Amino acid sequence: EIVLTQSPGTLSLSPGERATLSCRASQSVGSTSLAWYQQKPGQAPRLLIYGASSRATGIPDRFSGSGSGTDFTLTISRLEPEDYAVYYCQQYGSSLTFGPGTKVDI
Amino acid sequence: QVQLVQSGAEVKKPGSSVKVSCKTSGGTFVNYAISWLRQAPGQGLEWMGRIIPLLGIPIHAQKFQGRLTITADKSTNTAYMELSSLRSEDTAVYYCAGGADYFGIGWGQGTLVTVSS
């Protein structure tokens, strides 16, 4: 099973700042078989990025994804108040597994 | 816009089974996969399995082999997840989601299943 590790566990930033979230896989997930989700308390997750760098429908362009193989990054260029949430990466190169999440808070 | 609506919260005894439904609307049910995931309290997400209603063949994560049954009823556009031999560690919010590899078609609202004696 591919294990995903996310860092940092918590990211404390102010509105307008840039957020950089990391996701590392225990083995290659294929070139782009990685997705990112945002989850707010009491809500279902929302897909942000698939294929490592493709934004899902309706996702603002301040969200961007990059990386391949074992190292991936989600960048939020300028944090908006509604972006404070937990972010999960998920690989689908070999079965499906999720990372433990990164909480972005103020 | 595809909508997925799940059945309500359940409280179950250890050793029993639970069956959660996921009714879809606004899309072509048979054309995409319905996956099931769960999230234990304060924890991350765990994929359980999926089914493509057109094919009717489920795929289960190895962890749940033998305990998990995923089915789909094309006549009612509804998918089902049944988990047996429940234990306290199965207490979680269970989600259905549209998609096979990643889940962007839509999510259900979640169903809390509590396993307690």
Question: Which of A88, A95, A101 is closest, CB to CB, to B61?
Answer: A95
- CA of B56, closest CA in chain A: separation in Å? 19
pLDDT of chain B along its 117 residues, tens only? 789 999 999 999 999 999 999 999 887 777 889 999 999 999 999 999 999 988 889 999 999 989 999 999 999 999 999 999 999 999 999 999 998 888 988 999 999 999 999
Distance CA B5, CA A78 (A): 34
Question: Which of B46, B102, B110 is closest, CB to CB, to A92?
Answer: B102
Instruction: Give the 3-state DSSP-derived string for A3-17, with helices as H, strands as E and coil as C.
Output: CEEEECCEEECCCCC
The answer for residues whose C-beta is within 8 angstroms of residue A82's C-beta and 6 or more apart is none
